[in-house]
Amino acid sequence: MSVDVVVIGLGYVGLPLAQQALRAGLSVVGFDINTAVVDALNGGISHVDDLSDGDVAEMLQCGFRATADETEIGAAATTVISVPTPLSEDGGPDLEAVKAAAGSVARNLRHGMLVVLESTTYPGTTDELVRPILEKSGLLAGVDFFLAFSPERIDPGNEHYGTHNTPKVVGGDTAESTERAAAFYGRFVETIVRTKGTREAETAKLLENTYRHINVALVNEMARFCHELSIDLWDVINAASTKPFGFQAFYPGPGVGGHCIPIDPNYLSHNVRARLGYPFRFVELAQEINATMPTYVASRAQNILNDAGIAINGATVLLLGVTYKPNIADQRESPAVPLARRLTALGAKVSYHDPRIERWTAAGFDIPKTDDLEGAVASADLVILVQNHREYDANRLAAMAKRFFDTRGATSGEESQRL
């Protein structure tokens, strides 16, 4: 039995994609090598923030099913690869999951199939890595099957923009492949943006996140000297934001997290160094600045305690919110981890509160969790707001605390110190 699409990789990218395709009336099968994920989804249990168990139940009612049997790929008119691409030890993307997924497709490739890579990677991956693997099947891209790249643009926890209303960039290895990909996504995405080819589509995603990475680094560096000069950077940003043109607000924080911002720009920097032999200096400087923010926050915390006559060695420090974004449970690359490590190295007794995280490991061991938010805030020597979940009334908590360090600009009173 044929299906409209098989989605390979059922994580925070693949599962919402499958959901939107189903809602548009497409038949969808999800493939994942993690049998625990497959069994959970078939049992109506979600493992990603943006989809509830009820959403998965709705998908199942629409005919969705998950499988770990790669032979089912052969029934697809379209196959979408949305597997993780973490950083490798040399700073480039780890493409082992992409290679494995492409191999699974190659073993089940058939004439006329559209294959789309969505996994974020360096320019040239679709043409130089994926295409040769697929062509081991004996079929030729652009002749026997169609190949394209379409970068994922998922923003976990975003209540306004999702798969359906976020413009979809597509670039094929041929003009016909581009049109095939545009036609496929056009069935469930409002706006399709065509690029000249796969490399342009790959680079567009990297430019998006490099832009954010560099601008976050700018305000993070400004946070340091503004503090030294007794300038309220948050007030500065609010004032600058009133300009109706030429300015976009970015905000400082304890570091950058998630899969995209701390990782994707490195793909581009690594690719420039490997291919052209010189550094992408903006990216490397931004990485240096953003990566040192947890240490800077720990230093500020130490100074706050010192000003009160309290040594950080033995002091109780409570971290509020340890996820990389507010209002989600995603901990990938959260700056709370290196912050907790640094505070622990300085001798602080670190605990945490997070309404979405039951167990948290940092510094090589489990960090104690408190469920008594108000009691823990009132008793700690220092409270650090690391992530401002909607459950937190930052001003109220700051008023209850002995000392409150706000790294997110969520407070407005005199009771707290802000980054």
Which CATH number goes with the domain that contains 302?
A: 3.40.50.720
For residues 418 and 349, give the distance between their C-alpha atoms in angstroms, rounded to a whole number. Answer: 22
- Phi then psi dihedrals of residue 277, to 5 deg: 85, 10
Q: Which of 145, 163, 198 is the last residue of a domain?
A: 198
Residue 93: predicted pLDDT: 77
Beta strands 146-149; 168-172: pairing state? antiparallel
203 assigned to some structural domain: no
- Phi then psi dihedrals of residue 244, to 5 deg: -80, 0
Residues 193 and 335 in one domain: no
3-state secondary structure of 353: strand
Q: Which of 198, 226, 252 is the last residue of a domain?
A: 198
Residue 264: predicted pLDDT: 73
Residues 219 and 141 in one domain: no
Residues 39 and 118 in one domain: yes
3-state secondary structure of 148: strand
Distance of CA 38 to the CA centre of its chain: 22
For residues 252 and 134, give the distance between their C-alpha atoms in angstroms, rounded to a whole number. Answer: 44
For residues 204 and 277, give the distance between their C-alpha atoms in angstroms, rounded to a whole number. Answer: 22
For residues 118 and 13, give the distance between their C-alpha atoms in angstroms, rounded to a whole number. Answer: 9
Q: Which of 174, 198, 222 is the last residue of a domain?
A: 198
Domain of 220, in residue numbers: 214-418
3-state secondary structure of 317: strand
Please list the pLDDT of the chain residue by residue as tens digits (419 residues): 689 999 999 999 999 999 999 999 999 999 999 999 999 999 999 998 889 999 999 999 999 999 999 999 999 999 999 999 887 776 677 899 999 999 999 999 999 999 999 998 889 999 999 999 999 999 999 999 999 999 999 887 788 898 899 999 999 999 999 999 999 999 999 999 999 999 999 999 989 989 999 999 999 999 999 999 999 999 999 999 999 999 999 999 999 877 676 677 777 777 777 788 887 888 889 889 999 999 999 999 999 999 999 999 999 999 999 999 899 888 888 999 999 999 999 999 999 999 999 999 887 788 999 999 999 999 999 999 999 999 999 999 999 999 999 999 999 988 899 99
In 3D space, the residue among 1, 4, 21, 26 whose CA is nearest the CA of residue 113 turns out to be 4
16 assigned to some structural domain: yes
Q: What is the pLDDT of residues 297-330, one digit of tens each?
A: 999 999 999 999 999 999 999 999 999 989 988 8
Residues 227 and 192 in one domain: no
Residues 271 and 231 in one domain: yes
Quick count: other Cβ atoms within 10 Å of Cβ 406? 25
Residues 241 and 111 in one domain: no
**Residue type at 340?**
A
Residue 50: predicted pLDDT: 83
Spatial CB neighbours of 78, under 8 Å, sequence gap ≥ 6: 4, 5, 6, 113, 114, 115, 116, 184
Residues 115 and 48 in one domain: yes
Which residue intervals of 45-130 are DSSP H helices?
A: 53-61, 96-106, 125
Residues 409 and 344 in one domain: yes
286 assigned to some structural domain: yes
Residues 29 and 96 in one domain: yes
Residues 284 and 172 in one domain: no
Query: Known catalytic residue: 260?
Result: yes
Catalytic-labelled residue, pool 102, 226, 260, 315: 260
In 3D space, the residue among 146, 128, 139 whose CA is nearest the CA of residue 182 turns out to be 146
